[in-house]
């Protein structure tokens, strides 16, 4: 039987309490929320924290709300909460698209938005979805809060901008007139992505005024495709242009061959799913404008 190494356990009752506990135990302490990534790693002894700080009782971190022109998603919001949120679906349907494809109901009921982002797995769905809509991460330490664009939040595989003694408390997305969508290929339902793409568009008289593209599982730097976004802006929202944007996105990613498929297959999927996500976002834009 796989058993974690010994560790201290503390239950935080507020953000300030959690930060003080992180300070108390130092850099070898870890936050636990849903625990779906951390606990298996501890059982395999791939992670051996000296202390776990449980933040499940901090209700303020679980809220999904609108504050002015920002959609605010607490780091402790469960995947199921984001999937069920009418606010999130109204402004950014990409989140509902992505959440429907993440794991299974058991995982979605326990796993958290913040935990997924902080795990920074190269195949993680929400990382690409948040990158597509240019979200912001709110990180809190004992000296206050700082805001990091989500496209700068990921510093490498399984590495983020959250430092020792800090806590991701919220993800914010500026609300604007746009439409979004997410498309994914997986080997079986609930599996990690073979490849996936998210897209956000804003059109003016049929011309693309703004574009966002997020990619996962294909080695896209910081989970997005800036060259394809730049190509799209100023052009028509046509299938041909979306296909060309997909090809550009595929050219600039760096997939790795593994048990899910060879490099050429993943690059093909990156191109195809980018085009499909863009087309789905454009269809939603026109459907909303005509409603």
Q: What is the CATH number of domain 60-174?
A: 3.30.465.10
In three-state secondary structure terms, 29 is strand
Q: What per-residue confidence (pLDDT) applies to 43?
A: 84
What tens digit of pLDDT does each residue of 259-280 get?
Answer: 999 999 999 999 999 999 999 9
The pTM of the whole model exceeds 0.75: yes
**What is the structure's pLDDT at 2?**
77
Would you state the pLDDT for residue 289? Answer: 54
Using CB atoms within 10 A of its CB, is residue 106 exposed (0-12), middle (13-18) or buried (19+)? exposed
Using CA atoms, how far apart are residues 58 and 16, in angstroms rounded to an integer?
10
Domain residue extents for the chain: 8-54, 60-174, 179-290
Pick the CATH number of 179-290 from 3.90.1210.10, 3.30.390.50, 3.90.550.10, 3.40.50.360: 3.30.390.50
What integer pLDDT is reported at residue 1 of this predicted model? 58
**pLDDT at site 291:** 39
Which residues contact residue 204 at a Cβ distance below 8 angstroms, ignoring those fewer than 6 apart? none
Do residues 199 and 270 make contact, with C-beta atoms less than 8 angstroms apart?
no
How far from 254 is each of 65, 124, 189, CA to CA, in Å?
36, 16, 25
Averaged pLDDT, groups of 10, the chain, 291 residues long: 84 97 92 84 85 94 97 97 97 97 88 94 96 98 96 95 96 97 91 95 97 98 97 98 98 96 97 98 83 39
pLDDT tens digits, 49-72 = 899 999 999 999 999 999 999 999
Q: Does domain 8-54 have CATH number 3.30.43.10?
A: yes
Question: Do the domains at 8-54 and 179-290 have one common CATH topology?
Answer: no
pLDDT computed for residue 290 by the predictor? 46
Measure Cα distances from 275 to 148, 209, 210, 214, 233 in Å: 28, 17, 16, 12, 15
Nearest to 47 by CA among 32, 65, 63, 62: 32
Calculate what percentage of the chain has a pLDDT beyond 90: 85
Q: What is the pLDDT of residue 248?
A: 98
């Amino acid at each position: 039987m796989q058993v974690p190494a010994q560790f201290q356990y503390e239950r935080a009752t507020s953000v300030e309490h959690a930060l003080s506990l992180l300070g108390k135990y130092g850099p070898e302490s870890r936050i636990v929320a849903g625990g779906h990534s951390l606990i298996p790693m501890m059982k395999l002894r791939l992670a051996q924290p000296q202390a776990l700080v449980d933040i499940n009782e901090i209700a303020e971190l679980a809220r999904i709300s609108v504050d002015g022109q920002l959609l605010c998603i607490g780091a402790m919001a469960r995947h199921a909460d984001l999937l069920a949120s009418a606010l999130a679906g109204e402004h950014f349907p990409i989140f509902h698209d992505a959440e429907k494809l993440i794991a299974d109901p058991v995982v979605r009921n326990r796993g958290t938005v913040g935990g997924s982002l902080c795990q920074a797995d190269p195949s993680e769905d929400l990382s690409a979805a948040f990158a597509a809509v240019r979200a912001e991460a709110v990180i809190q330490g004992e000296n206050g809060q700082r805001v990091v664009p989500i496209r700068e939040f990921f510093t490498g595989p399984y590495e983020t901008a959250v430092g020792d003694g800090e806590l991701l408390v919220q993800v914010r997305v500026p609300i604007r007139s746009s439409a979004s969508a997410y498309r994914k290929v997986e080997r079986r339902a609930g599996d990690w992505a073979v490849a996936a793409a998210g897209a956000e568009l804003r059109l003016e008289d049929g011309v693309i005024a703004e574009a966002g593209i997020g990619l996962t599982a294909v080695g896209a730097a910081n989970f997005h495709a800036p060259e394809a976004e730049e190509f799209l802006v100023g052009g028509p929202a046509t299938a041909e242009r979306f296909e060309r944007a997909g090809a550009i996105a595929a050219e600039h990613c760096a997939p790795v061959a593994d048990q899910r498929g060879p490099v050429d297959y993943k690059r093909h999927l990156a191109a195809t799913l980018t085009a499909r996500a863009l087309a789905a976002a454009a269809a939603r834009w026109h459907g909303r404008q005509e409603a």
